[in-house]
Chain A
Amino acid sequence: MEFLQNLTLGFTVALGWEGLLYCLIGVTFGMFIGVLPGIGAISAISMLLPLTFHLDPAPAIILLAGFYYGSQYGGSISSILLNLPGGPSSAVTCLEGHPMAMRGRAGVALFMTTVASFVGGTFAFLLMAVLAVPLASMAVKFGAPEYTALLAMSLVFSSTLLGGSIIKSLAMVALGILLGLVGIDNSTAELRYTFGLFDLYDGLSLAAIAMGLLGIPEIVLKLSNRERATTIRPDTSLRGMMPERREVRDSVFPIARGSVVGGLIGMLPGSAPSISSFMSYALERLVGRPPQTFGTGRIEGLVAPEAANNASAQAAFIPTMTLGVPGDPMMALVMGALLIHGVTPGPRLVAQHPELFWGLVASFWVGNLMLLLLNIPLIGIWVRILKIPSDILFPLTLIFVSVGVYSIRNSPFDVYVLMGASILGCLLTYLRFSAIPLLLGLVLGPMLEQNLRQALMLSNGDPAIFLQRPISLGFLVVGILCVFATALVAVLRRRQRSQIVAADGRAAD
């Protein structure tokens, strides 16, 4: 009964005029930003952050959340029509979505992604409603050793699940932790890595670093590789969007599988939504018959990652809100916004701010419903927005981001940090490093240090404490298994590839 009471409370908040209004603004603006190629959710959130300071915490987070999953959804539109993903998580959508559009099924592809997103979002909503309270009550019992192990596991997750070299990802995590050390040491109030700069005492601005590392290199890449994308004029009449019976039948199980994959992966702290869409696509290729037709516009390969993507974008709020451990850079920014409002995410949040927490949960579902209802009539407009030339779009984005970062605390220094981060971001992209583990290290680093030091003091300097506590041991074992599994897959792949190379060499002889 308590469960129903909670949901009722949530829906009263989400369906109040403020909740509805900010949810609507969030999803609409999020979709708009998501549609624009080359502008990710991170860029947009740093423009939006100053706006949320003027709101109460509940509408602020409803706005940011709506914005987040709205942009996840919008990204699929430019992927399908232009083959230009708005962010990493919609790159998978291009694989089957664009070929479908080329075959004249663009309208159907857009329609089915909307439905898949809705189902994925609904699943994540249920997951959050059911799991939040038990998870939070479990997390209340966590001490410093458990948190240390959990944070370490999250950081390892963020490196292994991303693909690419795990060593390079772990190096990025460490670099992020290092950047997070800048400023006053929480335990002893001593200054570290400030090099005499007064502006560094408070540490580096997360929004500036996130924007500089993820958003600006994206603009540089787009400006460096300008190709006229061929726009497809989709049939956006209601009739043109209706899927055939066969297409609906082929989508049911992939959507269900995608929702589960996305929901479960999204719950893991340290996993970005792009991971779940890649994994869900891989799963569909594994079970789909015949596998070799993937890449030619198979609807299974479109809807499953789309459901997974949206489910994980929302499930990512579970560790953020109940454990206080943000799963990805985006969640870190959301958490930062909450902290500014004096709300500390963590196990006590559900009990202390039930209206905020349950309002957010309920707004997920309301927001998804809005997306579903809004999207279908608006698809024609999104298609037209895609024609905004990039020579207007990119300078405008840059200005808005600069002003956004500046206005967070009226600090020109933060804008210099943005500039420095953008140079670092370009260097990292050139050196084939991914910035996502870095940002996670930056966010989780200070928590990791604090808990590690506390745990060591608790055990009187004995590191074995992490192995003696069962929960902490469990987290560490999972993290280590994850590293080994990833390394094993990499070695196997390499062997397979070198066999192919060797076979090619013999054939050439």
Chain B
Amino acid sequence: MFGRVTLPEKRETIAIGTIFAIGSLAIAEASNYRFGWLNQPGPGFFPTLVGAFLVAMALLMSIDAVLSRPVLAYKEDRMRLRPILFIPCAVGAFAALVESWGLAPAIFVSTQLAALADEQSTIAQSLVLAVAASILVVVVFIGLLGLPIDVWG
């Protein structure tokens, strides 16, 4: 609403802060690179520009948030902590294990972690799934596609 000033709600405040911080950090890091001149732009020229643009967008976002009251047209989906925690863990575990332990064990661990993200899954089910997933991946990626990956470390 125009004329009335409202404080931005929590999510917007975090959003503005994040963009502002990324922009400032980008400029700070870019200052280590040679800026050059307009007729001979160096490696620091474009990053500085992009960082400044981000900072400008953060300022515009805060003006926008102060002047308007966000009206949500639809019900927002929740995000639960459990999948947010376990799904990146599952991916990370795969990355950590695939070369040291081999493909099959990495898939096994990763599937267990992915199953933990889902509160409805049971241990027995996730064990069966892990074995099935390992076999399926080995058949598809190594058997059919012939990719050079070690199945066992």
> Which residues of A are in contact with B by a Cβ distance under 8 Å?
50-51, 54, 165, 167-168, 170-171, 174-175, 177-178, 181, 185, 187-188, 190, 192-193, 216, 219-221, 223-226, 390-392, 394-396, 398-400, 402-403, 406-407, 410, 412-413, 415-416, 418-419, 422-423, 426-427, 429-433, 445, 449, 452-453, 456-457, 459-463, 494-495, 497-498, 501-502
Chain B 27-45 per-residue mask, 1 if CB under 8 angstroms from chain A, else 0: 0011001100111111101
Say which residue of B30, B50, B61, B90 sits within 8 Å of A398 (CB atoms). B90
Q: List the A side residues contacting B43 at CB < 8 Å.
A: 185, 187-188, 190, 192
Please tell me if the beta carbons of B137 and A220 are within 8 angstroms of each other in the complex.
no
Please tell me if the beta carbons of B60 and A167 are within 8 angstroms of each other in the complex.
yes
A495 to B3, CA, bound (A): 12
Q: List the A side residues contacting B88 at CB < 8 Å.
A: 216, 419, 422-423
Please tell me if the beta carbons of B39 and A174 are within 8 angstroms of each other in the complex.
no
Chain B 59-94 per-residue mask, 1 if CB under 8 angstroms from chain A, else 0: 011001000110100000111101110011011101
A412 to B91, CA, bound (A): 10
A394-B114, A403-B141 are contacts. A220–B149 as well, Cβ < 8 Å?
A: no
A178-B51, A415-B91 are contacts. A171–B11 as well, Cβ < 8 Å?
A: no
Please tell me if the beta carbons of B77 and A224 are within 8 angstroms of each other in the complex.
yes
Q: List the A side residues contacting B34 at CB < 8 Å.
A: 188, 190
Please tell me if the beta carbons of A178 and B22 are within 8 angstroms of each other in the complex.
yes
Please tell me if the beta carbons of A501 and B1 are within 8 angstroms of each other in the complex.
yes
Please tell me if the beta carbons of A224 and B129 are within 8 angstroms of each other in the complex.
no
A320 to B34, CA, bound (A): 33
Please tell me if the beta carbons of A419 and B92 are within 8 angstroms of each other in the complex.
yes
For the A-B complex with A174-B23, A190-B34, A398-B110 known, give 19 more contacts whose Cβ atoms are closer than 8 Å. A165-B61, A165-B64, A171-B61, A185-B43, A188-B34, A190-B33, A219-B87, A399-B133, A403-B94, A403-B141, A426-B79, A453-B46, A456-B41, A457-B40, A459-B39, A463-B38, A497-B71, A498-B2, A501-B71
Q: Give min CB distance, A339 to chain B, whole Å.
A: 20
Tell me if B47 counts as interface (CB < 8 A to partner A): yes
> Which residues of B are in contact with A by a Cβ distance under 8 Å?
1-2, 11, 14-15, 18-19, 22-23, 26, 29-30, 33-34, 37-43, 45-47, 50-51, 53-54, 57-58, 60-61, 64, 68-69, 71, 77-80, 82-84, 87-88, 90-92, 94-96, 98-99, 103, 107, 110-111, 114-115, 117-118, 120-121, 125-126, 129, 133, 136-137, 141, 145-149
- The secondary-structure label for the interface of chain B is helix
Q: List the B side residues contacting A185 at CB < 8 Å.
A: 43
Please tell me if the beta carbons of B121 and A391 are within 8 angstroms of each other in the complex.
yes
A350 to B96, CA, bound (A): 43
A168-B15, A178-B26, A415-B95 are contacts. A461–B38 as well, Cβ < 8 Å?
A: yes
A221-B77, A398-B114, A429-B79 are contacts. A51–B145 as well, Cβ < 8 Å?
A: yes
Q: Which 9 A-B pairs have the closest CB atoms?
A: A461-B39, A461-B38, A415-B95, A395-B114, A171-B57, A224-B80, A431-B15, A498-B1, A419-B91
Q: Give min CB distance, A155 to chain B, whole Å.
A: 11
Please tell me if the beta carbons of B19 and A171 are within 8 angstroms of each other in the complex.
yes
Q: List the A side residues contacting B80 at CB < 8 Å.
A: 220, 223-224
Q: List the B side residues contacting A433 at CB < 8 Å.
A: 15
Please tell me if the beta carbons of B129 and A50 are within 8 angstroms of each other in the complex.
no
Please tell me if the beta carbons of A220 and B79 are within 8 angstroms of each other in the complex.
yes
Please tell me if the beta carbons of A416 and B98 are within 8 angstroms of each other in the complex.
no
Q: Give min CB distance, B76 to chain A, whole Å.
A: 8
Q: Give min CB distance, A163 to chain B, whole Å.
A: 10
A397 to B120, CA, bound (A): 17
Q: List the A side residues contacting B115 at CB < 8 Å.
A: 391, 395
Q: Give min CB distance, A347 to chain B, whole Å.
A: 24
A296 to B43, CA, bound (A): 56
Q: Give min CB distance, B7 to chain A, whole Å.
A: 17
Please indicate which of the listed interface residues A170, A174, A188, A452 has the most CB atoms of chain B within 10 Å of its own CB. A174
A171-B54, A430-B79, A461-B37 are contacts. A193–B87 as well, Cβ < 8 Å?
A: no
A175-B22, A403-B137, A407-B147 are contacts. A220–B15 as well, Cβ < 8 Å?
A: no
Please tell me if the beta carbons of B41 and A174 are within 8 angstroms of each other in the complex.
no
A167-B64, A399-B133 are contacts. A226–B120 as well, Cβ < 8 Å?
A: yes
Q: Give min CB distance, A429 to chain B, whole Å.
A: 7
Q: Give min CB distance, B69 to chain A, whole Å.
A: 8
Q: Give min CB distance, B19 to chain A, whole Å.
A: 5
Say which residue of A407, A423, A430 sits within 8 Å of B149 (CB atoms). A407
